[in-house]
Structure formats: structure tokens, C-alpha cells
């Protein structure tokens, strides 16, 4: 038996491969963002634009790379559940934990535009499954045309974000980018890309094997282990923001990630390879939408426009019930 075969047959080693893959994925995204931001700064691009593009895309790179590997390997269930699971964990777990540490403040743009767009994301995924495509594409799921439509919404989101940032510069906290030597920046980009690719391969292949060993579907592994791993950057950013009482950053970080995940990552995946529906996708899609609905109701229901500690506790309890239901269904 070769070393690779031995590792793939050992559940404990598979878990180690998953952890190493997640570390490479997260660090790869960090290196890529640092290097690319430095290069962009040397080309005279403003900190504001870097924050809205390079940094924003960088936080979704773990989900993006895992999805690209999943699509290439034909593991489409993992591609969808990685996104829906990440959005669910972002809202219910990360935002819930952050609110328990310190109440999460919302900005007007988040309440009026970003959170509603995040709600619509879950509804649109459900619509892709529930409504037969009028373009002659067979089967239920996120088709190529569905992916194109999601990308069009994403382009509108980018346009609206840039326009709002230009009209309301006081509401935007630009990234402070310190340029590094060009060679070092290039090496950071290359190392980041390598870490993302290698980490993504390790995660997807070990996730499939873990699902086989446990006798559960790829969807369950995607909703739990993989989704939590790819959400680590948002978790770290949000918790640090909470400890510094900068929780408006935490809310924007979570909701922004949810928007990028569906309208960019999931959409791109579907354009490359149609993503058929799996058992439980309706519940998962509505759960992704419910998280944003609850957050919107919480910030609209008090004068401070906050998700307070009670709201955080509610989010965590709802997630615990949902997770119990999904795990029960998997048995």
C-alpha cells in the first residue's frame, strides 16, 4: 500500500489532512491579499479601491478555491453546500458569537441594501431549485443560466458599492496598505496561490473520503467541516472586531462575505459546471435566507440598530436546532 493510499484509508490521518488543508487555504488567502494589495498600491490604486476589490475578493478566496476544485472533480454537492453552509455559519455562528461578545452595530447601507441582498441570495438559490429553467436546461439546481443571472446581480452590487463609496466616503474605512518590495510582493502572491490550490485539493479530496468513512453524504461534510473551515477568515476578523468594539465592521464583513459567496463564487461554479440539487437543499437555502432575515429584524427592532446579546443567543440556538435536524436526516 502506497503512502497516499494509507493516508486516504485512515480516518485520523484524513482529519489531519483536512486541518493542514484549511491552514494552507486560510494562510494562502492572507498571503495573496497582502501581496496583491502591495502590488496594487505600487500602481497608484487607492486604499479604498483596494479594500473594495482585492481585500473583499480575498476573503472569499477559500470558498472560491474549494468550489473550483469541487467542480473540477465533479463533487457538485460539496460546491453548493460549501457556499450555503458558509453563509449559514457566517450569520448564525460567527455573527451570533460576535454579538455575545459585544452588541453588533449596523450601518444604514447594510440595513437598506446589503442585508436585503443577502436575503435575496438564499431565495434565488431556492428559486433555481424550485422553478424549471425556461432556457431548456434539464434538471433542478443552479444551471449555467442561473449562474449568469447571479453574476449579473453581482456586477450590480459592485457598481452600487463603488458608487456609494464615492458618494459617502465618510462611511467607508479604507484599508491601510503598506507597500512591500516588489519581489517580496510577487513571492507572497505566488505562495498564496500555491497555498490556496494545494489546500483546496487537500480539503476536497479528504472531505469526500471522510464522508465515505462516516457513511454520510458529501453535502453534510460540506455544510459542516468544509463550510466552517472556509469561514475561518470571517470568524477571526469578526471576533477581533468585537473585542475592539468595532462591531459595525463585523456585520459588514459577514454580510459582504455572504453576498460574494452566492453571487460570485456559487455563480462562477455554476457557469463552469451546472450544480444539480441534492437532498436537503431547500432547507439549506431557506436557512441561509433566514439568517439574514433575522439579522435584519434585529437591527430594525431597536433604536440603536444593533444585534444585541439576546439576538446573538437566538442566532446560535436556531443554528443548533438546524444542525441537529440535518444530522438526524443524515443518519
Which band of pLDDT confidence, cut at 50, 70 and 90, is reported for residue 49? low
Per-residue pLDDT of 60-114, as tens digits, reads 888 888 888 888 888 888 889 889 999 999 999 989 988 888 888 877 888 888 8
| CA–CA gap between residue 203 and residue 215 (Å, rounded) | 18
Structural domain that includes position 157: 3-330
Q: What interhelical angle do 247-260 and 76-88 show, nearest 10?
A: 160
Cell numbers representing residue 190 in the block: 505566488
Q: What is the pLDDT of residue 293?
A: 94
Under 8 Å CB-to-CB from 317, ≥6 apart: which residues?
Answer: none
How far is the C-alpha of 44 from the C-alpha of 329, rounded, in Å?
Answer: 53
What is the C-alpha separation between 277 and 275, in angstroms, rounded?
7
Distance separating alpha carbons of residues 244 and 276, to the nearest angstrom: 42
Cα–Cα distance, 153 to 150 (Å, whole number): 5
pLDDT score for 10: 64
User: Would you say 62 and 257 are in contact if contact means Cβ atoms under 8 Å apart?
Assistant: no
Output the pLDDT for position 3.
55
Q: Would you say the pTM of this structure is higher than 0.85?
A: no
Residue 1 has pLDDT above 50, yes or no: no
CATH number of the domain enclosing 77: 1.20.1420.30
Structurally, the chain folds into a number of domains equal to 1
Amino acid at each position: 500500500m502506497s503512502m497516499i493510499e494509507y493516508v486516504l484509508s485512515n480516518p485520523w490521518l484524513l482529519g489531519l489532512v483536512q486541518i493542514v488543508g484549511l491552514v494552507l487555504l486560510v494562510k494562502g488567502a492572507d498571503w495573496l491579499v497582502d501581496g496583491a494589495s502591495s502590488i496594487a498600491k505600487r500602481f497608484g490604486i487607492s486604499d479604498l479601491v483596494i479594500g473594495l476589490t482585492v481585500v473583499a475578493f480575498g476573503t472569499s478566496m477559500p470558498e472560491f478555491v474549494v468550489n473550483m476544485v469541487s467542480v473540477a472533480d465533479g463533487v457538485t454537492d460539496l460546491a453548493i453546500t460549501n457556499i450555503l453552509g458558509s453563509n449559514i455559519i457566517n450569520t448564525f455562528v460567527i455573527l451570533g458569537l460576535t454579538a455575545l461578545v459585544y452588541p453588533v452595530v449596523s450601518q444604514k447601507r447594510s440595513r437598506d441594501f446589503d442585508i436585503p441582498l443577502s436575503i435575496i441570495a438564499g431565495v434565488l438559490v431556492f428559486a433555481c431549485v424550485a422553478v424549471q429553467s425556461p432556457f431548456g436546461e434539464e434538471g433542478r439546481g443552479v444551471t449555467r443560466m442561473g449562474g449568469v443571472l447571479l453574476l449579473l446581480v453581482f456586477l450590480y452590487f459592485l457598481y452600487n458599492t463603488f458608487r456609494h463609496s464615492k458618494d459617502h466616503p465618510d462611511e467607508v474605512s479604507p484599508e491601510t496598505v503598506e507597500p512591500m518590495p516588489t519581489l517580496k510582493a510577487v513571492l507572497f502572491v505566488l505562495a498564496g496561490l500555491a497555498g490556496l490550490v494545494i489546500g483546496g485539493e487537500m480539503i476536497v479530496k479528504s472531505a469526500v473520503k471522510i464522508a465515505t468513512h462516516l457513511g454520510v453524504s458529501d453535502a453534510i461534510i460540506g455544510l459542516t467541516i468544509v463550510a466552517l473551515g472556509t469561514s475561518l477568515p470571517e470568524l477571526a476578523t469578526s471576533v477581533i472586531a468585537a473585542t475592539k468594539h468595532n462591531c459595525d465592521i463585523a456585520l459588514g464583513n459577514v454580510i459582504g462575505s455572504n453576498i460574494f459567496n452566492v453571487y460570485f463564487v456559487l455563480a462562477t461554479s455554476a457557469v463552469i459546471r451546472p450544480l444539480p440539487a441534492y437532498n436537503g437543499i431547500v432547507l439549506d437555502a431557506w436557512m441561509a435566507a433566514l439568517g439574514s432575515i433575522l439579522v435584519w429584524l434585529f437591527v430594525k427592532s431597536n433604536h440603536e440598530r444593533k444585534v444585541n446579546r439576546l439576538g446573538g443567543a437566538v442566532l446560535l440556538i436556531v443554528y443548533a436546532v438546524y444542525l441537529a435536524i440535518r444530522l438526524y436526516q443524515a443518519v
